[in-house]
A and B are shown apart, each in its own frame.
Chain A
């Protein structure tokens, strides 16, 4: 009982931390966009009658161009489902045959943040294809464990594009898991417990009347070396020995298999929901 409360407290504290962070960020954004010179410049420039004709035209053109590009950028973010927050480019080498630039990008996809540093070599010879000559990837958060093997593989092969294709799918799957866990935690706060936080891969269902009897839903998201993302759900039932010996019809023993068939028929959300209902009815 105490353990469940403690786990609850931990996960709530985590969530509060994340929310506070988000709130701070929001406030920062407000201050940046209100005190930052950019907004002042942009809005004060709109419809401002300039003194010199040439300069006014130039400024107006710049503003128009900037507005067009920013619109384009947000369109690009929407379709790529990746937001880049920072980007630094450094030229390392430039000569007749090749052009080497180092790029440092940070951004996020769903709630997963990443930092990527890579060197891109562009050859002047049009028949030669550009190549990535070094790649470093940093991914933060509890999900790292599930994607780390894949990350070291892409770093070795320098597969920049493959990383982003897989990372996008992976983070969308993670967000789905996170949302689903949170939904059940909110809906059944006294039965469902997230012992390792809402971004981890496990959810515990405790029978309110039978302490000691727990069901663990383990929802792992596998990423293969070649970048295939496959979610896998499993049910692990934990019962005291005494209770197991009373289970003559092998309900507990067969529960994981039943859960698998349920998943195939009704899908993730409905399966977990009916599982929780069954446990809390007991």
Chain B
């Protein structure tokens, strides 16, 4: 009865009174139900306050952190400029002081420190060269500048190409040793009046893709001496026709044609395989091989196929 009243709330209270055998017990029940209800409400209220407080606290933390971050940002900014100023001021001071301190012992120490620093800087410069940086050389007494572009395929370092630019009024290419089939003029027009770095990047992409394709042809000739024959290729190495012999009684010959439609990549965009045995060319194995050629350099794909003993 009590629970029922409590559940029904105020409206249900009247019904309880009418039906009750003793008039007082109904009133008491109603009162106690009201009491439970009010306790519940108070608790809810408290809970809501608590949540509100946590939320406010979190909000305050966010604000505090944000302020701290802004302060730090400003500090970092000022520290950078401060550093520059301090370096300048210090240098002036040092120069004044240096008039007074001169001794033979010092100069010996200076010499060795200088040599150490010099060799460190030299090492860093060499490292830039080794990781394929565009080496810059000033030419014609500062009137021109020459950029070197290193190329490599996998672990092999290959040719270095050079582009020399004239720095007079409008920048233009005056000398280079880029192969004629690389669209140098187009790349230059597209990029370099606005952004020399973008020009060098795209030129480097083209050159590296080209030497990569050429190196694959060389590697196939080296690794598959006699068994896989390169029937056709062109200067840009954008097409490659290979003939290999399948393993089996008939030793049927298969012709793989790799077309490199994207000059900035060293993987083909289209692969077709023809075989004397027509039944083989539609088999799932051949589809697998086709997929392999599309995502692996040709010599690696051929090595994998030979490992599986599909070609001789």
Contact = CB atoms under 8 A, between A and B. Distances in A.
Nearest to B158: A129
Contact of A84 (B124, B152, B154): B124
A189 interface: yes
Contact of B83 (A30, A50, A79, A228): A30
Nearest to B147: A79
A162 B152 contact: yes
B281 to A, nearest CB: 27
Contacts of B80: 26
Contact of A76 (B66, B133, B151, B197): B133
Interface string B41-83: 0000000000000110011011001101100110110011011
Contacts of A226: 265-267, 295
The size class of the interface chain B forms with chain A is: 35 or more
Interface in B91-106: 91, 94-95, 97-99, 101-102, 104
Contact of B124 (A73, A79, A132, A160): A73
A228 B76 CA distance: 35
B151 A2 contact: no
Contacts of A8: 62, 65
Nearest to B58: A5
Interface string A76-89: 11011110100101
Nearest to B80: A26
Contacts of A50: 102, 107
Given A16-B69, A30-B86, A82-B133, A39 B94 contact: yes
B122 to A, nearest CB: 7
Interface string B110-121: 110111011011
Contacts of A48: 98-99, 102
Given A59-B107, A76-B135, A165-B204, A37 B113 contact: yes
A281 interface: no
A37 B114 CA distance: 10
B127 A103 contact: yes
B152 A69 contact: no
A251 interface: no
Given A73-B121, A162-B152, A226-B267, A84 B128 contact: yes
Nearest to A118: B130
Contacts of A73: 121, 124-125, 128
Interface stretch (A60-68, A139-147, A205-213, A270-278): A60-68
A45 B98 contact: yes
Given A12-B62, A19-B76, A44 B98 contact: yes
B28 interface: no
B174 to A, nearest CB: 19
Given A16-B68, A23-B76, A66 B98 contact: no
A159 B128 contact: no
Given A1-B55, A26-B79, A158-B154, A15 B69 contact: yes
Given A50-B107, A59-B110, A161 B150 contact: yes
Contact of A40 (B66, B94, B151): B94
B265 A69 contact: no
A157 interface: yes
A98 interface: no
Given A69-B121, A133-B155, A9 B110 contact: no
B194 interface: no
A65 B118 contact: yes
A interface secondary structure, majority: helix
A131 interface: yes
A37 B113 CA distance: 8
A211 B114 CA distance: 64
A257 interface: no
A41 B150 contact: no
Contacts of A43: 90-91, 94-95, 98
B155 A23 contact: no
Given A13-B65, A69-B118, A34 B107 contact: no
B114 A66 contact: yes
A130 B160 CA distance: 12
B38 interface: no
A22 interface: yes
A97 interface: no
B157 to A, nearest CB: 4
B76 A59 contact: no
B173 to A, nearest CB: 16
Contact of A9 (B58, B135, B150): B58
30 contacts: A6-B58, A12-B65, A12-B69, A19-B72, A37-B109, A39-B91, A41-B109, A43-B94, A46-B98, A48-B102, A59-B110, A62-B118, A65-B118, A66-B117, A69-B122, A72-B125, A79-B147, A81-B197, A84-B124, A84-B128, A87-B127, A105-B131, A130-B156, A131-B156, A131-B157, A157-B154, A160-B152, A169-B201, A226-B295, A228-B265
Given A19-B73, A26-B80, A33-B83, 17 more contacts: A2-B58, A22-B76, A23-B75, A46-B98, A48-B102, A65-B118, A70-B121, A79-B133, A80-B134, A84-B124, A84-B127, A129-B156, A130-B156, A158-B154, A158-B155, A160-B155, A162-B208
What 8 A-B pairs have minimum CB-CB distances, sorted nearest first? A44-B98, A43-B94, A158-B155, A161-B132, A5-B58, A12-B65, A80-B133, A19-B72
